[in-house]
């Protein structure tokens, strides 16, 4: 039953890492969008509502984008790492 305990601990830890990383990634993207708006001289003096809409649109694009899906690697890479370790230690 050792492997069940390990899998449980591993995937709980990876879930925490996944959530923290996805919060971070969203935050970076949002900051980037805000800065893109704020440094654009053609948008100077535009109403606050337009800025919020611009950021929202950018975040919706992010939610559908590749970068967000790449976060699944947080689960995939350690799993591959564990399986290769098991293979190379015992059958190689």
Partner 1 sequence: MWTKIKWGLRILAVLIAGLFLHYTLPQRDVVQIINTYNKNTPIGGNWMFYSIEDTGTGVETSATIRDIRFIDAVYADGTSVMVYRNEDTGWFWPPYFKWDSSTLQAQAQNLKSDKAAPKWVAITHYGWRLAIFSAFPNAVSVTPVDGPDVRLIPWVNILLLSFLAFAIFMVRKMWLQFRERMVDPALADVGEGFDAVGNRVETVRKEARGFVGRVGAWLNTWRAKK
**How far apart are the C-alpha atoms of 79 and 82, rounded to whole Å?**
5
Nearer to partner 1, 24 or 72 (CB): 24
For the chain, the first-to-last Cα distance in angstroms comes to 25
Nearer to partner 1, 32 or 43 (CB): 32
Contacts with 78 (C-beta within 8 Å, 6 or more apart), sequence order: 10, 14
Assigned token pair, 47: 């109403």
Q: Provide, rounded to whole angstroms, the least separation between the CB of residue 42 and partner 1.
A: 26
Between residues 4 and 42, which has the closer beta carbon with respect to partner 1? 4
Residues that bind partner 1 (CB under 8 A): 2-3, 5-6, 20-21, 24, 27-28, 31, 82, 85-86, 89-92
């Amino acid at each position: 039953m050792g492997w069940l305990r390990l899998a449980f601990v591993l995937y709980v830890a990876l879930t925490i890492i996944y959530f923290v990383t996805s919060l971070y990634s969203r935050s970076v993207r949002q900051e980037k969008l805000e800065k893109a708006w704020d440094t654009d001289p053609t948008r100077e003096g535009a109403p606050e509502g337009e800025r919020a809409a611009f950021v929202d649109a950018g975040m919706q694009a992010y939610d559908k984008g590749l970068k967000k899906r790449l976060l699944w690697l947080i689960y995939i890479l350690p799993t591959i790492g564990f399986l290769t370790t098991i293979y190379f230690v015992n059958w190689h």
